[in-house]
Amino acid sequence: MPGEGPNCVWVKALLTCLLLLLAAPAYAQIVIPGDELPAPTVPEDLLPDEDEKNDADPDAPAPDAPPEGPTPELDAPDYSRVSQGVERRERLNVLFERLGEAEDDAKAKLIAEEIWAIWTDSGSASVNFVLRRAASAQKLGGTSRARAQFDTVTRLQPDFAEGWARSGRLAMDERDWGRAISDSIRALQLEPRHYHALWTLGSTLERLGRQDEALEAYREANRLYPALEAVRERVQVLESEVEGDVL
């Protein structure tokens, strides 16, 4: 699979080490003083909001139907003869190559939005709907409702990486460190380039005092998305701390 070989090797090596962390149930009871680390954030959901649809002016002229899929480019490859799975993978390969080369934050965000659009589409309208409601509940502070809905997503579609990634991020809010790690690992097994799951994993490990492992997770997220400032800052901070400890 183009562009994913070294990444998969890295993920397998780190995740094997992290399995040892999950053997310690005491993580769920750990209280970290001074919890001032920036938490991973997700962009606004790209799925349409039903409330926004209902607010449309019924007398307004109907807009032209937008083309399906990403905006076509002059040199866009022809995916008409390949399966949806192959098309999805190839689109992500192209987008991640562009994301790694993006020179400014604005351009990188536009590319990241295209990646999120692919990631948040499970292929099931019902699963997409539950994912949307779970994300909205989490944003509004409805942790228990969000947890029930994310659990529904992962139960209905266990091979949907985005469901596990968002469940892991919610587990951080719940201070359930073991679940934050395990759900992030599951997301990375399904999508090794999921930089947000790597960010959640690094943030959780850092809160547990596992700076070495956290730094590796941050570095990989930074390699995939160099313009993501919050992750880049954590890399710089931890590199200084870890290298300082070694010296």
CATH assignment at residue 108: 1.25.40.10
pTM to 2 decimal places? 0.74
Whether 61 is in a domain gets the answer: no
Tens-level pLDDT at each residue, the chain (247 residues): 444 555 555 555 565 555 545 544 444 333 333 345 667 776 655 444 444 344 444 444 444 444 455 544 445 565 656 677 789 999 999 999 999 999 889 999 999 999 999 999 999 999 999 999 999 999 999 999 999 999 999 999 999 999 999 999 999 999 999 999 999 999 999 999 999 999 999 999 999 999 999 999 999 999 999 999 999 999 999 999 887 655 4
Number of domains in the chain: 1
* 200 backbone dihedrals φ, ψ, rounded to 5°: -60, -45
| DSSP characters over 114-138 | HHHHHHT--S-HHHHHHHHHHHHHH
| 183: helix, strand or coil | helix
Whether 37 is in a domain gets the answer: no
Residue tagged 């989490």 (tokens): 138
The boundaries of the domain holding residue 185 are: 5-22+83-246
